[in-house]
Structure 1
Amino acid sequence: MSTAKVKLAIIGVGLIGGSLGLCLKDKLGEEIYITGLCRTQASMDKAMKLGAVDFATADVQQVVHDADIVFLSPPVLQIVPMVKKILPYLKKGTILTDAGSTKQYIWEHLRGILPEGIYYIAGHPMAGREKSGVEAACKDLFVGKAYVIVENTGAPQEAQQKLMKLLRYTGANFTTLDIATHDRCASVISHVPHVTAAALVTLLNRTGGDLASCIKLIGGGFKDTTRIASSNADMWADICMTNSDAIVDSLHTLQEILDDVIAACKSQDRQAIYDYFSASKKRRDGILEHAEREFDTN
């Protein structure tokens, strides 16, 4: 980095925002000054005590007024209202980026309100845990993980370079996608799996009189396949509202797949069931082997 101190504002110092703060303070120390927006005094105290930010407050003006880069990490439906709130306090040249899991919705609402000299570069770090809050943050959260930088939001090359110079300290593997492709792929890779994990827990809850007996059988399979159902409900409700078309399309496809399995089970078509499991195993093993050469998929 240059000798000038970088000023970063983090809106939402939770798992993702807090992890970014911890990483950059670890790598840059006094070369970066990080302010954080938190809702409660307890979360402000925690963020500062852990070292995720240098200063935390609930006052948006204090957080963003001198920021070079603003990192937005609240639930998706809160991002656009938050940008509207902070715009009057931003200096010319400020770069806005985010960790939102959906992109089309955000960009459609931001592109008409950003003033000249304020740039938005959409981002999506494909990193997370089923835990939430700054206490779950860690400085190495992004290392080896895919981090999507979404194209076509009109930021100049200098702004892109300035942001990437900072984000590369995370150790993430960066890739670019256009907005529509990002949202479709995120629905398949991330959004529908979360919906499905929650559905499996809901299925357990609907076992009626067998619930107590089912719980006695819970082991690694149930725990592994439903782990992400413990994720933040606010965040996932917003994702479903802002990427509904892609999610619904993917869920319809999943529904068709399950209908085929139901039909094969009903007709006692063992070969069809065998082929279903065999093809999915082969495909999963091949995909993960390829992905793990490029990214940390854990």
Structure 2
Amino acid sequence: MQRRVLIIGLGLIGGSLALCIKRAHKDAIIIGFDVNEEQTKLGRMLGVIDEVAPSIEEGAEHADLILIATPVKVTEIVIERLEKTPLKSDVIISDAGSTKKEIVQLAKGLKHKGITFIGGHPMAGSHKSGVSAAKSILFENAFYILTPDEHLSEDQLHELQSWLSGTRARFITLTPDEHDYLTGVISHFPHVIAASLVHQAEKTSTKQKLVPSLAAGGFRDVTRIASSNPEMWRDILLQNKEVMLNLLEDWQLEMQKVSEMLATENSEEIFDYFHRAKQFRDELPQKERGAIPSFYDLFVTIPDYPGVISEITGYLAKEEISITNIRILETREDINGILVISFQTEEDRTRADQCIHYYTNYETSLGL
């Protein structure tokens, strides 16, 4: 008998999870549901899913695995609906949200019905969104955090990992509290800082008209994560409120420390401050995928003549190398410009670097 998998939410994450399960479990039937009917139709047309569920309840009733890949506030609503739905006794339910404590707490209603719920968070993303951007390689070598309840057996946890084996991710088991604190430190809080830097630049731009032009280079890269979905980040911050408030308090103390160093002109402490930060950052793993999606950018120094960009993208297309984004740095004043090309993986960036060197004599680098 074929096993059935319901994916609720057919965006980038839900679609990619569907493809990963298809890769590892070719006999499974993948059913999709999304409030946006166009996404489900597109998912069916692209072969991401095999069937479209008319409703969450109809899709869930006979499912062996249910994965909820929706924004965290929507996940809460979905869990409440699943509690009222007749489900198979051995079904496993998991989510893909960026916060876990409140979700796992809410899912205790499923536990009381004898249903297995295991919180999940695949730490991967992309510049693109929607089911058309789904890729079976999205989670490869990424951390996939699972937050099982204490009552769950190892067999249930291993069964979910078996279902998700096609992600080729690195599974880590944490408590919901541990998950929310760690992701708060290395993902949620940096998004707040990036947004605050952009707000500061915006305010300054009313007096200094050169700010937007000068911010087009490195500043734009540093604050790239501020372009994330505002609705999603509103929900994440509210769900992780306690952790974020504590981190913001710590940050204010850190900034006070910097203010005091500047006020007293303590050059030795200022040097040490940047030196220790450099040391810690330089020791961070370079090739591991963390909580914030990596940006695999290639910087190409190009001459200023018509058609040069299409020339380069043509070479990449010839070698079947996909790009996710392309732009020109606007701060250069000489005859050469800097073309920034973004890729989905480090392997694609390496291939692109080799491709451009093979066909041209343009200089390239991985950073400026």
TM-score using structure 1 length: 0.90
SS of the residue corresponding to residue 285 of structure 2 reads helix
Alpha-carbon separation, structure 1, partners of 2:209 and 2:58: 52
Alpha-carbon separation, structure 1, partners of 2:261 and 2:76: 46
> By how many angstroms is 1:257 displaced?
1.3
The answer to whether 1:90 aligns with 2:83 is no
The answer to whether 1:156 aligns with 2:153 is yes
Pick closer, same or farther for the CA change 1:22–1:71 going to 2, 3 Å.
same
| Match among 45, 53, 65 for residue 49 of structure 2 | 53
Alpha-carbon separation, structure 1, partners of 2:67 and 2:195: 29
> By how many angstroms is 1:236 displaced?
1.2
Residues 208-229 of structure 1: per-residue CA shift (max 9 Å, x gap): 4246411111244222221211
Alpha-carbon separation, structure 2, partners of 1:58 and 1:256: 52
| Match among 25, 28, 48 for residue 25 of structure 2 | 28
| Match among 240, 258, 263 for residue 260 of structure 2 | 263
Q: Conserved in 2, the CA contact under 8 Å of 1:11 and 1:37?
A: yes
- Kindly report which structure 2 residues correspond to 1:190-205, keeping only aligned pairs within 5 A, or say none: 190-205=187-202
- The one-letter code matched in structure 1 to 2:102 is Y
Q: Conserved in 2, the CA contact under 8 Å of 1:131 and 1:231?
A: no
Q: Quote the residue 2:118 is aligned against.
A: 121
Pick closer, same or farther for the CA change 1:171–1:76 going to 2, 3 Å.
same
SS of the residue corresponding to residue 25 of structure 2 reads helix
The answer to whether 1:38 aligns with 2:34 is yes
SS of the residue corresponding to residue 34 of structure 1 reads strand
Instruction: Compare the two structures and name the one with the higher helix fraction.
Output: 1
Pick closer, same or farther for the CA change 1:198–1:132 going to 2, 3 Å.
farther
- For the pair shown, which has the larger CA radius of gyration, 1 or 2? 2
Q: Quote the residue 1:224 is aligned against.
A: 221
Alpha-carbon separation, structure 2, partners of 1:247 and 1:271: 31
> By how many angstroms is 1:130 displaced?
4.4
Q: Which segment drifts farther, 153-162 or 193-202?
A: 153-162
- The one-letter code matched in structure 1 to 2:138 is L
- The one-letter code matched in structure 2 to 1:160 is L
> By how many angstroms is 1:62 displaced?
2.6
Q: Quote the residue 1:182 is aligned against.
A: 179
Identity over the aligned pairs, expressed in percent?
34
Q: Quote the residue 2:289 is aligned against.
A: 296
Unaligned runs of 5+ in 1: none
Q: Quote the residue 1:138 is aligned against.
A: 135
The answer to whether 1:11 aligns with 2:4 is no
> By how many angstroms is 1:67 displaced?
0.8
Q: Quote the residue 1:68 is aligned against.
A: 64
- The one-letter code matched in structure 2 to 1:104 is K
> By how many angstroms is 1:254 displaced?
1.6
Q: Conserved in 1, the CA contact under 8 Å of 2:6 and 2:32?
A: yes
Unaligned runs of 5+ in 2: 295-368
Q: Conserved in 1, the CA contact under 8 Å of 2:102 and 2:239?
A: yes
Pick closer, same or farther for the CA change 1:113–1:45 going to 2, 3 Å.
closer
Higher relative contact order (CA 8 A, sep 6+): 1
Alpha-carbon separation, structure 2, partners of 1:149 and 1:18: 19
| Match among 262, 267, 272 for residue 269 of structure 2 | 272
Alpha-carbon separation, structure 1, partners of 2:127 and 2:238: 20
